[in-house]
Structure 1
Amino acid sequence: MDGVLVIDKPEGLTSHDVVAAARRILGEKRIGHTGTLDPLATGVLPLACGRATRLVRFLTASDKDYDATMLFGVTTDTLDVTGEETSRSGRAPSPDALVTALRAFEGEQMQAPPAYSAKKVGGRRAYEFARRDEPVELAPVRVRVAHIELLAFAGDPSSSLGASRCRIALTCSAGFYVRSLVRDLGERLGTGATLEALRRTRSGDFTLDEAVDLDDVGRKRLDPSDSGS
């Protein structure tokens, strides 16, 4: 089987979990994903199958679109709601301050990856150090935000994690961490923030419109246009 299969990754699975499931269902060992999604995240995860695996490095380098929801007034060690709470301020930004702060992240910038990430340091994943409380320095990486937009902002006093939340849409370069953006935005606003939900809506030329649920993989015809044949 040669081609690209676009999965709508469900919450709770790692990208590797999806690859393993696809290998089992399709009976194809040569399958690789083209851009890691954290277990919390959902959305577009293109899988290169068969001869198309030689295209992985090109597909991985593509820009991505995300829809993200964050909570203000709280921080966590993983920079998302799956982690342990590290601080709580209860503060929320004003809408004007939020819009101004978001605009500051457009363009090229240096971004520090999250401590809990798959970045390799000396042959080990960064999250391995973080889980053992071992200090490790992750070098900032040059990234780019082509567009960022505030979609919604609302107070939420009933939230168990924070006083308010906002939803944003952004287009960014490969290697960009939305969790790091949320961390940096919270620091800029002086409120603290953590990621609540993340959905990838586009990866390169692949969008949610063509994505299928993992349960439907066995019934999906592979797209031969990206097989390299």
Structure 2
Amino acid sequence: MDGIINVLKPPGMTSFDVVGFLRRVLKTTKIGHTGTLDPAAVGVLPVCIGKATKIIEFMTDKDKVYRAEMTLGISTDTQDGLGNIISQRPVGVSADEIIRVFNDFTGKQQQIPPMYSAIKINGKKLYELARKGITVERKPRDIEIHFLRILNVFHDNRVLFDVGCSKGTYIRTLCSDIGDKLGTGAHMSFLVRLDAGGFNIKDSITVEEIEDYAIKGVLERYVTPIDKAFSDYGSYVVDDPHEKKLLNGCSIEITGKGFIDGELIRIYNRNNVFIALGTVTIKSGKVLLKSKKCF
């Protein structure tokens, strides 16, 4: 089985737990997820199986969409509802103020990762240090918030919103930062991932369904082919001699318009079989194509 399963991760399970579960169900070790979800969070967790594990590095770079709830007035050490309360402040802000501050957080910016995260510094995961009461300096990361849409302003000091963002964005840190700017403090009290790189929650399946479908022998119906994960990329069909050159690591000259230097495209052979992701290079007026990952 080669492809991607759009898993609906349940609360209480880590992303690693999901991978371990699928290893047992599918009886394979060649498997990996495409982006960690916190244990308390739910939602889309694309899991790559077989040859699809080669595309994990590309999948993690893709944008994400979340629905989150932020509770004002309470800050926690983990920036979510599972942590210890470190401060409580009165919530004396209006809906208009909340909307204004939310608007300030769209666009390209830098974000300091939370201590309770799996990022490693000097070989140690930050959350391991945090549990020992140790705080270390973290370098800000470049992120981009593509949109913030408030769905429900101010119900019991809570704000429900959708956010589209780049890789590496911590939504609980976003909630905490917004709360600090409002002067009330805040933490993330709920999170569901609605979309990850084009894999949408409406098409996801639960771990219970995966196990049931595997027993019935119909799970492959719910496995997305590798190339479908890159349906937003361009494509190119090569003949037999060029296919051989590409698979041997050589560059080939291709024809056509609209290619962009450095872009990734899907490469198919003359039988319409997906064989590789390739990189386009434009040099001296020539359009060259070289395989980056072969399948």
Q: What range is the shorter-chain TM-score in?
A: over 0.9
Helix, strand or coil for the counterpart of 2:59? Answer: helix
**CA drift at 1:132:** 0.4
Q: Using the alignment, how far apart are the partners of 1:91 and 1:224 within structure 2?
A: 49
Q: Which residue of 1 aligns with 2:147?
A: 147
Q: Which residue of 2 aligns with 1:12?
A: 12
**CA drift at 1:36:** 0.5
Q: Which residue of 2 aligns with 1:159?
A: none
Residue ranges of structure 1 left out of the alignment (5+ in a row): 157-163
Deviates more, 1:137-146 or 1:210-219: 210-219
Q: Using the alignment, how far apart are the partners of 2:175 and 2:76 within structure 1?
A: 11
Q: Which amino acid aligns with 1:155?
A: H
**Is 2:225 the counterpart of 1:224?**
yes
Q: Which residue of 2 aligns with 1:168?
A: 161
**CA drift at 1:92:** 4.4
Q: Using the alignment, how far apart are the partners of 2:52 and 2:98 within structure 1?
A: 42
Q: Using the alignment, how far apart are the partners of 1:117 and 1:213 within structure 2?
A: 25
Q: Which residue of 2 aligns with 1:120?
A: 120
Q: Which residue of 2 aligns with 1:97?
A: 97
Contact persistence 2:68–2:190 (CA under 8 A): yes
Q: Using the alignment, how far apart are the partners of 1:113 and 1:39 within structure 2?
A: 17
**CA drift at 1:226:** 3.8
Deviations, residues 58-93 of structure 1 (Å, cap 9, x unaligned): 001000000000100000000000000101113242
Q: Which residue of 2 aligns with 1:32?
A: 32
Deviates more, 1:91-100 or 1:54-63: 91-100
Q: Using the alignment, how far apart are the partners of 2:135 and 2:195 within structure 1?
A: 34
Contact persistence 2:150–2:161 (CA under 8 A): yes
Q: Using the alignment, how far apart are the partners of 2:109 and 2:140 within structure 1?
A: 9
Q: Using the alignment, how far apart are the partners of 1:115 and 1:184 within structure 2?
A: 14
Q: Which amino acid aligns with 1:223?
A: T
Q: Which amino acid aligns with 1:167?
A: L
Deviates more, 1:78-87 or 1:217-226: 217-226
Of 169, 191, 195, the residue aligned with 2:188 is 195
**CA drift at 1:135:** 2.2
Q: Using the alignment, how far apart are the partners of 1:169 and 1:209 within structure 2?
A: 16
Helix, strand or coil for the counterpart of 2:142? Answer: strand
**Is 2:70 the counterpart of 1:70?**
yes
Deviating beyond 6 angstroms after TM superposition, the runs of 4 or more aligned structure 1 residues are none
**CA drift at 1:179:** 0.7
Q: Using the alignment, how far apart are the partners of 1:70 and 1:213 within structure 2?
A: 26
Larger radius of gyration: 2
Contact persistence 2:2–2:226 (CA under 8 A): no
Contact persistence 2:7–2:207 (CA under 8 A): yes
Q: Using the alignment, how far apart are the partners of 1:110 and 1:171 within structure 2?
A: 16
TM-score, normalised with respect to structure 2: 0.73
**Is 2:61 the counterpart of 1:61?**
yes
Q: Give the 3 Å change call, closer, same or farther, for CA 92–115 of structure 1 in structure 2.
A: farther
**CA drift at 1:155:** 3.5
**CA drift at 1:138:** 1.2
Matched residue count:
222
Q: Using the alignment, how far apart are the partners of 1:95 and 1:180 within structure 2?
A: 21
Q: Relative contact order, CA 8 A, sep 6+: which one is greater? A: 1
Q: Using the alignment, how far apart are the partners of 1:107 and 1:155 within structure 2?
A: 26
Helix, strand or coil for the counterpart of 2:79? Answer: coil
**CA drift at 1:40:** 1.2
Q: Using the alignment, how far apart are the partners of 1:92 and 1:5 within structure 2?
A: 45
